[in-house]
Structure 1
Amino acid sequence: MKHIRLYFIALLCPALAQAQQTLTLEEAIQQGITKQYSIQISRQRERIAANENSLGNAGFLPTITGSANKNYTISGLNQSFFGGLRPPLVQSGVNSNSGNAGVAMAWTLYDGKGMFILRDRFKELQNLGAKQTESNIENLIALISSTYYDIIRQSLRVNNFKKGLEISNDRLKLAKDRYEVGQGSKVDYYSAQVDYNEDKALLIAQEQAFTNTKIGFNTLLIKEYKADFSINNTIDLLPKLTLSELKMSALSQNPALIGAILSKKISDLETKNIQSQQKPQIDLVAGYNLNSVANGAGFGVEKGSSDVFNYGLRATINIFDGYNQKRRIQNAKINAEIASMQIEDLKNALLSALERTYVTYENSLNLIQLETENYAIAKQNIDIAFDRFKVGIATSYELREVQRNAVAAETRLIEAKFAAKSAEIELIRLSGNLL
């Protein structure tokens, strides 16, 4: 698929040496990826996943906490003693204070390999975030590309209706001249006027569709809604794609499928993480505390301080928790089974979508060949019928039918080309080759 990918990129990225006012597909894609809020949000979420993937979050690093407090008291004393051993003690407004400060550390040395499992889980979550961003970008590229070619399609239809209106206008002038000199009937003249008005209404409606498509395209690019631009009115196709190659590429490169596989890995790691909690956890603990006291009363210790340093090992194990851990393990295994089913379901849907889209793609290619021949014949019929009409051999009705056939033939050709291009873009998106 590599040659297909390179050819597609070359086709999507026309030379930038074109007129400045012409918007190329490459420029539109760059603008959309840069400005689209959905892509910006996806990249911010990817940054969060990258921040979560750290040794500290996985539990490899120690936790150190500090604490400090200071207490103040104001007290009063009124004491008397038996036998007059000493004079009574009367004090008021006695200020005393005490304080302590300490640092405690806990460092997990073993937790049933839970730290390593968490580290792998955060890594896969980061990979999943990157793959989701890639998927969003591919979807955006496909949407921008399809809309870009839809603008071309609408523009070609406008030109087609303009040509039809020109023929109706020439027919109206000729019918009017004939009627005024007495060589034609009023019915032919009025019929030509009605047909001209009908074609003009079709053109107005098509121009409206063209304008609305451009507004939608500007919305995709986060631009001023009515910002004007021009594009090249050409729908080019790649060499015919091969279904077998598309399927192989999709099963190995489709971002949504890869994301589902990553989700399965994350589910398996979550199961292992919960199972690791059944094993003992061993922590290295240490702490240092400093205490101080200042007593304003006239007895006991006036001032003092003490400090303590302690260290040791702490082992904990869950002996019984009401079978909650067993329940969590069972649910984690079920989630892993669901993730496996989702992978198979996504594969099935992906291959089915490729099959359906490829049928549309092949039919559109066949229709292009058929409608190209029809359009060539219809154009010749227009010239012949108009010449016959001018000399009075063909009727107004016959010319109108030939005109309608020509407009319809070109319209069908435009639609076939657009359908083929849309299917082509979708096939490459499903195969994971847009990036």
Structure 2
Amino acid sequence: MTNKIQKIMKYIKFIYITLLFVGAVEAQEETISKAEAVQMALENNYGIKIADNNLKISENNKSIYNSGFLPTLTGNAGATYNLDNSEVTFLPRLMLDPITANGAESSRYNASMNLNYTLFDGLGRRYNYKQLKEQYNLTELQARETIENTLLQLFGVYYNVAKLSEDVSLMNQSLKISKDRLERVQYQFEYGQINKLAVLNAEVDVNNDSINLLNTQQLLANSKRDLYVVLGKTEVPNFSVDTLVTFSLQSDKTTLFEKVKANNVTLQQLEKNILISDFQLKSNKSGYLPSIGLTGTYGWNKNNNNSTSQVTTSVNTGLSGGINLTWNIFDGGSTRTRVQNAKINVDTQRLQKQQVELEVNRDFNNAYDDYLNKLFILQTQEKNVQTNTDNFNRTEERFKLGQITSIEFRQAQLNLINAKNAKNSAKYDAKLAELEVLQVSGDLLNTDF
């Protein structure tokens, strides 16, 4: 062998040892299934955690303690101290001597409990309470939308990891074929059957396949880091994923469209917004009606008077209660303005729903047609892989017999690799298109991934 060929062989051995090491590491990696990835995202994804906190706040807001239906009870207490110089002069007819007191002390103490309860406020708090409940339902839908979007993001990255994993496997196969070819043409060159150009071409192909493999491995490592971000994990990614893809969409287009109208999360949120706006309108109308309230007080008062007073100490305790009615007969038109604006807001919410219904219908039709197209492309690519596999096998046999050139063999090899790559891309594209259809139809969270 020439020195150059020996260097090539050493380089090939280095690549071979490196790939064996990578294969050993991959064998130790844990496999994250799709179900496990979903569970990790639901537990650790920061967007989902934030949505859960918002839901907890909304649950607190719809509590009876935030409704205005419960009474209020307040306590008050106070103390006053006086130090006075006093001079008291009586009426002449009383025939009493004046009284002078320097540094006379007096004090007063009081304590009370006050109870207030609104019997009727024009039904305002009733509709406010209903509004808070619907706001909680809306927050639930917003949390569901966050989960759906996170799952779409998750599987976008998950299937990218799966595709790149299969790409690495294909690159390994291609590199092995190129190394075998290089070894064969080296022997042929040594025995004078071919010229040096064939060896150089085989060497270039080995180098290109090695570079492609290393680049694909780097893309795979980057994609695994992206997946860990979605999963909310911080450790160094060392895992593999499930590359098996199954399609679960079985309903026909008409059935799916009925699900869109009933279950689409965007349309359901708009329904809640209409209800909330309607309750706000009714709450504003309560400003036209009177409010009736109950008050009750239990009080204690003690006075320590100075020496100029005829009564030195007095203590009073008592219970009082009352009912009051307040009717804002005319407030300058502010209630009327609020009611008119609330009516406009209800109308606006209904118009927005009509607009979004058109957009959702469009999105569903686009997603469904895209899914069918990608399924057809997948089926075509699978046939294309079979055709290119048969062509490569025949080409390889003819190459071993010396009936075709290495360039023709390389072209058949590239055609097969490209066909397998295209099939893998079509497989994951079709699966993601299916998930888009399920998300629009509101059935994504009911799917067995």
In the other structure, the counterpart of 1:131 is 141
Residue 26 of structure 1 corresponds to 35
* In 2, Cα distance between equivalents of 1:163 and 1:302: 109
TM-score in terms of structure 2 length: 0.86
**One of 355, 360, 367 as aligned partner of 1:345:** 355
Contact kept, 8 Å, 2:110 with 2:301, in 1: the verdict is yes
**TM-score computed with the length of structure 1 as normaliser:** 0.89
CA positional deviation for 1:422: 0.3
Letter in 2 for 1:45: N
- Aligned CA distance change for structure 1 residues 326 and 82 (closer, same or farther; 3 Å): closer
1:73 and 2:82 matched: yes
Tell me if structure 2 keeps the 8 A contact 1:102–1:290.
yes
| Offset of residue 308 of structure 1 | 4.2
The corresponding residue for 2:59 is: 50
Q: Deviations over 1:410-429 (max 9, x none)?
A: 11101111111001111112
Question: What residue in structure 2 maps to residue 148 of structure 1?
Answer: 158
Conservation of the 8 A alpha-carbon contact between 2:249 and 2:434 = no
Partner of 2:7: none
User: Distance between the aligned counterparts of 1:105 and 1:265, measured in 2?
Assistant: 34
1:12-49 deviation line (CA, Å, top 9, x unaligned): xxxxxxx9933221122112111222222222222222
Counterpart-to-counterpart distance in 2, 1:45 and 1:319: 39
Query: SS of 2:296's equivalent?
Result: strand
Q: CA deviation at 1:176?
A: 2.5
Q: Secondary structure at the match of 2:119?
A: strand
What letter is aligned with 2:70? L
Secondary structure, aligned partner of 2:245: coil
**Aligned partner (choices 185, 188, 192) of residue 178 of structure 1:** 188
Q: C-alpha deviations, 1:93-136, integer Å up to 9, x for none?
A: x3321122222222222222223212211221121122222222
Quote how far apart the aligned CAs of 1:88 are: 6.7
Instruction: Please state if 1:91 is matched with 2:115.
Output: no
- Structure 2 matches for 1:28-427, cutoff 5 A? 28-77=37-86, 86=97, 89-92=100-103, 94-238=104-248, 240-427=250-437
Q: Following the alignment from structure 1 to structure 2, what is the Cα–Cα distance between the partners of residues 297 and 187?
A: 128
- In 2, the alpha carbon distance for the partners of 1:401 and 1:391 equals 17
What is the CA-CA distance between 1:280 and the residue it aligns to?
Answer: 0.9
Quote the residue 1:429 is aligned against: 439
Q: Is the 8 A contact 1:146 1:425 kept in 2?
A: no
What is the CA–CA distance in structure 1 between the aligned matches of 2:97 and 2:351, rounded to whole Å? 90
SS in 2 for 1:187: helix
Give structure 1 regions of 4+ aligned residues with deviation exceeding 3 angstroms. 76-88, 296-300
- Could you tell me which amino acid in structure 2 is paired with residue 58 of structure 1? S
The one-letter code matched in structure 2 to 1:34 is: E
Closer, same or farther: CA 87–364 of 1 in aligned 2, 3 Å = closer
- Of residues 230-239 and 189-198 in structure 1, the stretch that sits farther from structure 2 once superposed is 230-239
Aligned partner of 1:44: which letter?
Answer: N
Deviates more, 1:129-138 or 1:423-432: 129-138
The CA deviation at 1:241 is 4.5
Q: 1: CA distance between counterparts of 2:426 and 2:57?
A: 45
Name the Cα RMSD after superposition: 2.4
CA distance in 1, matches of 2:368, 2:199: 49
The 8 Å contact of residues 41 and 231 in structure 2, kept in 1 or not, is answered as yes
1:333 Cα deviation after fit: 1.6
- Identify the range of structure 1 (276-285 vs 387-396) with the bigger mean alpha-carbon deviation: 387-396
Contact 1:64 1:103 in 2 (8 A): yes
* Equivalent residue, structure 2, for 1:11: none
Q: Secondary structure at the match of 2:396?
A: helix
Deviates more, 1:77-86 or 1:316-325: 77-86
The percentage of counterpart residues that share the same residue type is 30
Contact 1:154 1:210 (C-alpha < 8 Å) held by counterparts: yes
C-alpha offsets along residues 246-305 of structure 1, whole Å, 9 cap, x if unaligned?
A: 211121112222122111100110011001111111112222332221123443431112
- In the TM superposition, residue 165 of structure 1 has moved relative to its aligned partner by 1.6
Cα distance between partner residues in 1 of 2:87 and 2:235: 87
Are 2:88 and 2:308, in contact at CA under 8 Å, matched by a contact in 1? no
Q: Rate the CA distance shift 1:224–1:87 in 2: closer, same or farther, 3 A.
A: closer
Q: CA deviation at 1:321?
A: 2.5
- Give the secondary-structure state (helix, strand or coil) at the position aligned to 1:46: helix
